Amino acid sequence: MKMIKKATVILGILFFSMECFAQDSVSVPKRAVAYAADKFAIARPLNIEFSNAAPYSFTSKRGSTSLQESKVNNFTQAKISANFNFIKRKTWLLGATVGYRYTSAEADMTDPFTGKSTVLDEDFHYLFSSLNFTYFSKLFGKRTIYSSSVVVDGSDKHFERIRGVITGVMVLKANERTKMTLGLAANIDPTAQTPVIPIFTYEHKFNNGLIADITLPRSIYLRKYVFSNTGRVSLGTEMDQTSFYLYNIDGTDQRYQYRQLDINSGVIYEHAIGNFVITGKTGFKMTPSGRLFRKQDSFKDAVFETKPDPTFYFNVGVSFNPFTLLKKNK
C-alpha cells in the first residue's frame, strides 16, 4: 500500500482512472484526458506546487534499536511536472511525463549510523520521467482502459532506477450522475512493497450539488462547485509520498533511498482563471512511517525507520489546464 504514492503508481493511476464515459469512441481519448487532468494535478500539461509542514517530533530506530526522540524544525517541498500526449488516436494515446521534486529538511536528530546527536540541514532533488501508453477497448461489453508506463528516476547526481507499471481498468457504470470503475495495477519494481494493487473509483453527484469522489487507495473527497462553477471546495483525505536518494552518509559509496507515505486530510480550494487553476490545500498530515534502505534492497528491508507525529501543513499551486471542468473565469 505504501508504494501507491511512488511516481510510477501515480502515473499508472492517472491514466487508468480516467472517465471513459462517452459512448462515441472518437471522443473517448479526449474526454479521458480532460477527466484525468481534472482529477490529478500531475496529469496536467504543467503543474507547480509549494508546500510546508509545521515543526514536528518523530521517533526512530535503527534495526531493532530505538533512538531518542528527534524534531524536524523545517520541512519544505516544491515540485513541478509536465505531461503531454504527442500521439492521439481513436483507440490509443502515447505520451510522456517529466517531473522534479525539491525537498528541504532541517532537523535535530540522532545520526542512524553513529548514534550521535546531529543537526540535519539538507536539500534533496528527485527527478523522474516516463513514457506512457494508453489503449481504449471493450471487454465483456464494458469500456476498458489498458495502460503501461516505463519510468526512470534519480537525483541531481545520478540516474538510479528504471521500472514499469501495467494497469487495466473496466468502467462498470457511467451515466450523468454516477461513474464507477474497477481494475488492477501491477508494479514491475523489485523494491515495491505491493506488486499488485486493486483500484476502485466511484463518483456520484447528489441532488444538493455535493459530489462524492472516491479513488481507492489514493483519495476520498466530498466536493462542491462554488462561485458559478469557477471554484470548487473539497473536503477529505489523499495520499502523497516523499522520496529521494542519499549518498555518502555512512562513509562508503553505498546509495540509499528514503521514502515516506503521507496521508493529508483537510480542505482544498480550486479556482479557474482562464486556462489556469489556482489551488490551495491545508489540514493535517499523518506519516505512518518513513524508511531509509539500501538502493538494491526493498522498502521492507529498512536500515532506519522514522515515525513522525501528525502536523499541520499547507500547499499552494498553479496549473496550466485547458481541460479543466471548472468554468473558466476570464
Q: Extract the C-alpha cell encoding 216.
A: 481507492
Whether 18 shows a pLDDT value over 50: the answer reads: no
Task: Show contacts of 119-124: CB within 8 Å, 24+ apart.
Answer: 124/155, 124/244, 124/245, 124/246
Q: What was the pLDDT predicted at 33? A: 61
The closest alpha carbon to 254, from 297, 295, 200, belongs to 295
User: CA–CA separation, 245 vs 259, rounded Å?
Assistant: 9
pLDDT score of 8 more than 50: no
With pLDDT > 70 as the criterion, what percentage of the chain qualifies? 83
41: three-class secondary structure by DSSP: helix
pLDDT in tens, 59-71: 988 888 888 888 9
Number of Cα atoms under 13 Å in the Cβ half of residue 86: 6
Q: Which residues fall within 8 angstroms of residue 119, CB to CB, at 6 or more apart? A: 106, 107, 108, 109
Contacts (Cβ under 8 Å, ≥6 apart) of 191? 161, 257, 293, 297, 298, 299
Gap between the Cα atoms of 240 and 259, Å rounded: 11
pLDDT reported for residue 113: 66
Strands 117-139 and 304-308: unpaired
* Residue 43 vs residue 175, higher pLDDT: 175
Of residues 103 and 299, more confidence is placed in 103
Q: Predicted confidence band at 4 (pLDDT cuts at 50, 70, 90)?
A: very low
> Residue 292: how many CB atoms within 10 A of its CB?
19
Q: In which region does residue 37 sit, left (phi positive, over 0), alpha (psi from -120 to 50) or beta (all else)?
A: alpha
pLDDT at 252: 85
pLDDT of residue 6: 39
In this predicted structure, what is the pLDDT of residue 237? Answer: 97
pLDDT digits over 294-323, tens only?
A: 988 888 888 889 999 999 999 999 998 776
Reply yes or no on whether the pLDDT at 273 is more than 80. Answer: yes
> Which pTM was predicted?
0.85
Q: Give the Cβ contact number of residue 139 at 10 Å.
A: 11
Residue 303 is given by DSSP the state S
Q: What is the pLDDT of residue 266?
A: 98
Q: How confident is the model at residue 19 (pLDDT cuts 50, 70, 90)?
A: very low
User: What confidence score (pLDDT) does residue 176 get?
Assistant: 87
pLDDT at 1: 41
- How far is Cα 265 from Cα 257, in angstroms, rounded to an integer? 26
**Lowest-pLDDT range of 7-16, 142-151, 175-184, 201-210:** 7-16
Half-sphere exposure of 158 (CA within 13 A, CB side): 14
Query: Tell me: the pLDDT tens digits for 26-51?
Result: 455 666 666 665 666 667 888 999 99
Of the ranges 188-192, 203-207, 268-272, 277-281, which one carries the lowest mean pLDDT score? 188-192
Domain boundaries, the chain: 2-320
**Average pLDDT along the chain:** 84
Mean pLDDT of 138-165: 91
Least confident of 27-31, 164-168, 223-227: 27-31
pLDDT at 146: 92
